[in-house]
Amino acid sequence: MKAKLTYTGIRVTNLDRSITFYTQVLGMTLTGRNKIPDTGGEAASLVSVDGGPTLELNYYAKGSRFSTKYFVGDGLDHIAFQVEDLEKFLAEAKKSGIPVPFEVKTGSSHWAYVEDPDGIWIEVFA
């Protein structure tokens, strides 16, 4: 059986703060935001390019059976984004106080990780 990956959902602890990070820092576009009464939660959908995969941010309010203790990543290793100019991106991230916990330069390869507001590692490369 063959399947097509259409979106990735991650859990966040503050939906507005995460939307701000993904739209302002990574340049994504918010395409929708909906409350989900059956889960006691709210979801926001973002894309980086038209027709590209969606990143779904999921928030669960206190009292929801899905609002459990938050563990950074909780099985998610990282999400990767390609940027036009890695050096410029990292300089702007550091200037804005965004954590850059790990940077790799090996031969012709260079990539780094920044942290989203919940501590999820975001790989960035050019």
Name the residue ranges covered by the structural domains of the chain. 1-62, 77-126
Cα–Cα–Cα angle for 3, 6, 38, rounded to 5 degrees: 105
115 as an active site residue: the answer is no
- Taking the domain 1-62, which CATH number applies? 3.10.180.10
pTM: 0.84
Point out the catalytic residue in the list 87, 103, 115, 123.
Answer: 123
CATH topology classification for 77-126: 3.30.720
Three-state SS sequence of 60-126: ECCCCCCCCCCCCCCCCCCEEEECCCHHHHHHHHHHCCCCCCEEEEECCEEEEEEECCCCCEEEEEC
pLDDT, tens digit, 9 for 90 and up, residues 34-78: 999 988 999 999 999 888 899 999 999 988 988 888 887 676 878
